[in-house]
């Protein structure tokens, strides 16, 4: 009972530490991973409240197992194929070259033998997915060209942990009592992987299908945990890593119709166990080694980040990235990663190098993580004006009945109708990427800024019968409308409106033709929904037409009396097709685009 009570106290301390440290570090912009590490250091090496950090690591490694399973679930073959060049070309090159370069430095300075140098080099070659993706998300750069390349590198690094973990047993010395040959161990491992692949191909989907039919939610969760742990244990018994088994199980289920259900079931366990793992890493740190080697850590951390950044920059440039994109990628990914903790801890446990060296390496990785926001902020000082983003404003052949400004999704659809009607359209857009993409699909559009008078004149506005303003930003749209109305007052202007308030603003400017970008599509959506619910198509069309008439009348009233006018025209209860009766209840105008 005393042992159980003590165990409860340890669990409470770790949960309390996580509750305090994770939000604070997240708020400081350092990420929850460093928060978990700090909580573990305070609870263990500093306050000595928990002394068995190494034992906790054995349980906490299940967090890594579940993380690898979820990574496998995301790797649908179609997604891998679309990013294959960056993932398997640039990604493999980055891990291999960076790992070998860093391992070479370790050997050069005589810090470790070749086997330990390999683990250290490749462990430091991995970056932090959590930190890098957080920076990309905060900047809104996840879907940019450099953001996608950075994500591809991170994805390959996440995959690389599987063979790196499998490498540890091969580099570790065999136990004296192990009488089996290396070939025998290899064949056992191959057989285990083959068994897992066969089970995943023929057993997993039928298993989840049977359980799903029962409707037992708890049984589905139990099945998900069983699959992850069984696959992990199978490969561990074959001499490979548990993480590799979980990863393969995830890949096998990536195309399953139960993928999202599995992801939702496993995610909570992954989160809490991974946090526990990082806390256990902090608990097992040797602070005496860190304090005695503080100068080494201060020198090694920026050195590792510099070498890693230079290698990434060079490889990105070699594979076609611009200078700016290569700089951004290099300064987003120079830090060590959370999988470095996994690799160094497992290597120390296998006897490849000492626990003190593992603590030193973990300290270097932790310091590099803390310096990542600073490194990413420095990128703007190394950027130059990118010539690839400049395009010559060449309007040769321009001049048509319709001058369209802006060729995003709204303009593309509108242009299709005009072209199908036999009308010529001159399109200008200020996005170089959009100009190039449109050219790939056979469209001829011109690069130019629609807010400039000289660009509009060169694009043939004086010959155009209609100016179609299809830009998606309200501010940009208003600037173009004001310019056209002041310089070309006789031009007929059609404008893409953002919402109801924008429509009223445009009409106050004298614009006679505007369409809210979501209004007609919402009418079609609602009409088709009614039809699916059993309403006759003619009745659904009548209802849709009535809503359109009400909207026109409301806009005319609001243009005179203000946005709050016309509330009585809104429906707040189901209506009958014809005759349409005004509902008794009225609903407040809570949505500006209603």
Q: 529 and 537 in contact (C-beta within 8 Å)?
A: no
Which tokens is 494 given? 């059609």
236 vs 2, more confident: 236
Other CB atoms within a 10 A radius of the CB of residue 220 amount to 19
Q: Tens digits of per-residue pLDDT, 4-13?
A: 556 677 778 8
Distance separating alpha carbons of residues 571 and 592, to the nearest angstrom: 15
358-395 pLDDT per residue, tens? 888 888 888 887 787 778 878 878 888 654 444 444 45
- Rg of the Cα atoms in the chain: 31
- The per-residue pLDDT for 309 is 92
DSSP of 1-29, one letter per residue? -HHHHHHHHHHHHHHHHHHHHHHHHHHTT
Element holding 304 (H helix, E strand): helix 294-318
Kindly tell me if the per-residue pLDDT of 64 is higher than 80. Answer: no
Greatest mean pLDDT among 160-174, 272-286, 362-376, 470-484 lies in 470-484
With 90 as the cut, is the pLDDT of residue 225 above it? no
C-alpha–C-alpha distance, residues 56 and 79, integer Å? 36
Each as own residue / partner, the long-range contacts of residues 373-376 (CB below 8 Å, 24 or more positions apart, any chain) are 373/29, 373/30, 373/135, 375/305, 375/309, 375/331, 375/332, 375/334, 375/335, 376/135, 376/331, 376/332
Confidence of residue 102 (pLDDT cuts 50, 70, 90): very high
In the chain, pLDDT over 70 holds for what percent of residues? 81
d(CA 521, CA 544): 11
Mean pLDDT across the stretch 320-325?
87
User: 589 pLDDT exceeds 50?
Assistant: no
- Record the tokens describing residue 141, joined without a space: 């750069």
Kindly report the number of other CB atoms within 10 A of residue 72's CB atom.
23
Task: Report the distance separating Cα 436 and Cα 447, nearest Å.
Answer: 10
Q: How far is it, in rounded angstroms, from Cα 228 to Cα 68?
A: 10
The mean pLDDT of 393-418, rounded to a whole number, is: 76
- Name the most confidently modeled range: 150-164, 289-303, 316-330, 420-434: 316-330
Residue 590: what pLDDT?
43
Highest-confidence segment of 146-155, 179-188, 559-568 = 146-155
What are the structure tokens assigned to 542, written together?
Answer: 């009548």
For a pLDDT cut of 90, what percent of the chain falls above it?
A: 10
Phi, psi of 334 (to 5 degrees): -85, -10
Distance CA 116, CA 290 (A): 19
CB 68 within 8 A of CB 246: yes
In the predicted model, is pLDDT for residue 562 greater than 60?
Answer: yes
- Per-residue confidence band for 585, with pLDDT thresholds at 50, 70 and 90: very low
Q: Which of 210-224, 261-275, 348-362 holds the top average pLDDT?
A: 348-362
C-beta of residue 240 within 8 angstroms of C-beta of residue 166:
yes
pLDDT for 166-183, tens place per residue? 788 777 754 444 555 656
Whether the pLDDT of residue 444 is over 80: the answer is no
Q: Using omega within 30 degrees of 0 as the cis cutoff, is the peptide bond preceding 143 cis? A: no
pLDDT-based confidence at 95, cuts 50/70/90? very high
Q: Is residue 30's pLDDT more than 80? A: no
The predicted structure's pLDDT at residue 310: 94
Q: How far apart are CA 594 and CA 503, in angstroms?
A: 12
Q: How far apart are CA 266 and CA 70, in angstroms?
A: 8
At 393 the pLDDT is: 47
User: Six-digit token pair at 224?
Assistant: 């998900």
CA distances from 588 to 507, 561, 570, 572 (A): 24, 16, 8, 9
- Of residues 193 and 122, the one with the higher pLDDT is 122
**pLDDT for residue 486 is more than 60:** yes
Mean pLDDT of 205-223: 78
Of the listed ranges 51-60, 187-196, 325-334, 458-467, the one predicted with least confidence: 51-60
Residue 511, SS3 per DSSP: coil
Q: Measured on CA atoms in the order 192, 195, 201, 205, is the torsion positive or negative?
A: negative
Higher pLDDT: 363 or 562? It is 363
Sign of CA dihedral 341, 346, 347, 351: positive
Q: What is the mean pLDDT of the chain?
A: 78
Tokens representing residue 482 in the block: 């004001």
Give 78-87's long-range contacts (Cβ < 8 A, gap of 24+): 83/148, 83/152, 83/155, 86/148, 86/149, 86/152, 86/153, 86/319, 87/152, 87/155, 87/156
Between 63-77, 193-207, 313-327, the lowest mean confidence (pLDDT) is in 63-77
Q: What is the pLDDT of residue 246?
A: 81
**pLDDT of res. 1:** 43
Under the banding of pLDDT at 50, 70 and 90, the label for residue 352 is: confident
pLDDT at 226: 87
Token pair for 9: 């106290």
């Amino acid at each position: 009972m005393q042992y159980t009570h003590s165990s409860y106290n340890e669990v409470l301390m770790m949960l309390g530490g996580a509750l305090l440290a994770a939000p604070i570090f997240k708020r400081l912009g350092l990420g929850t991973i460093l928060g978990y590490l700090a909580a573990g250091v305070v609870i263990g090496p500093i306050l000595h409240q928990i002394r068995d950090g190494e034992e906790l690591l054995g349980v906490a490694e299940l967090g890594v197992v579940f993380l690898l399973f979820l990574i496998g679930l995301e790797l649908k073959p179609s997604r891998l194929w679309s990013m294959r060049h960056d993932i398997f070309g640039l990604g493999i090159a980055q891990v291999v070259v960076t790992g070998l370069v860093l391992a070479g430095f370790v050997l050069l300075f005589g810090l470790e033998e070749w086997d330990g140098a390999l683990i250290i080099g490749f462990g430091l070659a991995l970056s932090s997915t959590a930190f890098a993706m957080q920076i990309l998300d905060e900047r809104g750069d996840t879907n940019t060209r450099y953001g996608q390349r950075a994500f591809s590198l991170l994805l390959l690094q996440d995959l690389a942990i599987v063979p790196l973990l499998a490498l540890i047993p091969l580099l570790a010395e065999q136990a004296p009592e192990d009488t089996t040959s290396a070939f025998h161990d290899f064949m056992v491992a191959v057989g285990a992987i083959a068994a897992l692949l066969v089970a995943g191909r023929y057993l997993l989907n039928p298993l989840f299908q049977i359980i799903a039919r029962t409707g037992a939610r708890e049984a589905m969760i139990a099945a998900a945990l069983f699959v992850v742990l069984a696959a992990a244990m199978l490969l561990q018994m074959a001499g490979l890593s548990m993480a590799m088994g979980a990863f393969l199980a995830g890949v096998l289920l990536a195309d399953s119709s139960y993928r999202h259900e599995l992801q939702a079931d496993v995610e909570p366990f992954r989160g809490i166990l991974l946090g526990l793992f990082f806390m256990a890493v902090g608990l097992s740190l040797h602070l005496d080694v860190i304090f005695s080697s503080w100068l080494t850590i201060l020198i090694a951390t920026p050195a590792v980040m510099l070498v890693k950044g230079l290698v990434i920059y060079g490889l990105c440039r070699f594979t076609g990235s611009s200078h700016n994109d290569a700089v951004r990628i290099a300064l987003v990914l120079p830090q060590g990663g959370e999988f470095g903790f996994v690799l160094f801890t497992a290597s120390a446990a296998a006897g490849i190098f000492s626990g003190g060296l593992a603590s030193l390496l973990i300290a270097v990785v932790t310091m590099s993580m803390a310096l990542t926001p600073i490194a990413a902020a420095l990128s703007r000082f190394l950027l130059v004006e990118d010539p690839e983003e400049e395009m010559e404003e060449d309007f040769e052949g321009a001049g048509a009945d319709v001058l369209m400004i802006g060729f995003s999704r709204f303009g593309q659809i509108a242009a299709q109708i005009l072209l199908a009607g036999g009308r010529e359209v001159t399109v200008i857009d200020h996005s170089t990427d959009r100009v190039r993409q449109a050219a790939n699909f056979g469209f001829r559009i011109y690069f130019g800024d629609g807010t400039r008078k000289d660009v509009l004149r060169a694009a043939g506005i004086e010959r155009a019968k209609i100016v179609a303003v299809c830009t998606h930003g309200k501010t940009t749209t208003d600037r173009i409308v004001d310019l056209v109305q002041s310089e070309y007052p006789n031009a007929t202007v059609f404008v893409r409106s953002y919402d109801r308030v924008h429509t009223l603003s445009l009409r106050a400017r004298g614009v006679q033709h505007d369409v809210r970008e979501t209004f007609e599509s919402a009418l079609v959506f609602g009409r088709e929904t009614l039809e699916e619910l059993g309403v006759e198509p003619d009745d659904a069309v009548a209802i849709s037409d009535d809503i359109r008439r009400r909207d026109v009348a409301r806009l005319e009233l609001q243009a005179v009396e203000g946005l709050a006018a016309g509330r009585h025209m809104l429906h707040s209860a189901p209506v009958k097709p014809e005759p349409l009766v005004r509902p008794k209840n009225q609903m407040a105008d809570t949505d500006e685009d209603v």
